[in-house]
A = this chain, B = another copy of it.
Amino acid sequence: MTDIEKVVTSIDPVVFSIFQDKLHILLVERNKEPYVGKSAIPGGVVIPSIDRTLESAVSRVLKEKTGIKINYVEQIKTIGSASIDPRSWTVCVAYFALVEYQNVTVPNAKWVSIDDLKNHDFGFEHHKIVISDAIERLTNKVNYSTLPVELMQEEFTLPELQKIYEIILGEKLDKSSFRKKMLENKILEDTGKLIKKGAFRPAAVYKKLKNEPVLFNKNIFKI
């Protein structure tokens, strides 16, 4: 196993959060070569002497680059080529991560709405692909799983959760169907609490029971 055969391995996590009724992605502005000043996924390189496994490398990179508590991480896919990074033959392992916006306290990072992505200049060409793959995977999963629960705070109401689904999917959902789907899978627990938000009936407060998303039988519950 000669050094000739070794390559650089980078971790590219696409970090999602929802606020201001928009799906946002966390980006950084590159402060070293190549592509100084351009936008980039907040990634990092696997350091064999530090990282025991790929997972621990992901944890380290996310901690260093975002400082955020991560609610959910999932590997998307791996790409690799001589041209990804001008410096070296590179393998990129892409992830997507869901976080709560409230937890973010990183000066270097910036949240970008997915509608604004087109206005950003990415140095690394493959970052565009990775981001669009991540968005595709997210919207796909939203159609048939309880994944968006991982975007919520510890406690939340069903109308709030429905809003999150609607933002990601970009369409209105039927309230009745939505509630049936969410409650028939036993992943939410009614805390018994109520929350008053205005001059109308207060909403019941739920919290997560499991921390793994559950798949639905069928795809969608459109209006």
Apart from A54-B81, A57-B80, list 13 A-B contacts with CB within 8 A: A1-B87, A4-B48, A4-B49, A5-B45, A5-B47, A7-B9, A52-B82, A54-B91, A75-B77, A75-B78, A80-B93, A91-B91, A218-B218
Taking each of A4, A47, A54, which has the highest tally of chain B beta carbons within 10 Å of its own beta carbon? A54
Contact A5 B48 (CB under 8 A): yes
Provide the residues of chain B in CB contact with A218, threshold 8 Å: 217-218
Given contacts A1-B8, A7-B6, contact A89 B219 (CB under 8 A): no
Q: What are 20 A-to-B residue pairs whose CB atoms are below 8 Å?
A: A1-B87, A1-B88, A3-B6, A4-B47, A4-B49, A5-B48, A6-B6, A6-B7, A7-B48, A9-B80, A46-B80, A46-B89, A46-B91, A48-B89, A54-B79, A54-B91, A57-B80, A80-B93, A91-B91, A217-B219
Q: Does A53 contact B (CB under 8 A)?
A: yes
A residues apposed to B, CB below 8 Å: 1, 3-9, 45-49, 52-54, 57, 75, 77-83, 85, 87-89, 91, 93, 217-219
For A86, the closest partner residue in chain B by CB is: B1
Provide the residues of chain B in CB contact with A93, threshold 8 Å: 78, 80, 91
Q: How many whole Å from A140's CB to the nearest CB in chain B?
A: 11
Q: How many whole Å from A185's CB to the nearest CB in chain B?
A: 16
Q: How many whole Å from A128's CB to the nearest CB in chain B?
A: 17
Contact B8 A5 (CB under 8 A): yes
Provide the residues of chain B in CB contact with A47, threshold 8 Å: 4-5
Q: How many whole Å from A200's CB to the nearest CB in chain B?
A: 37
For A56, the closest partner residue in chain B by CB is: B81
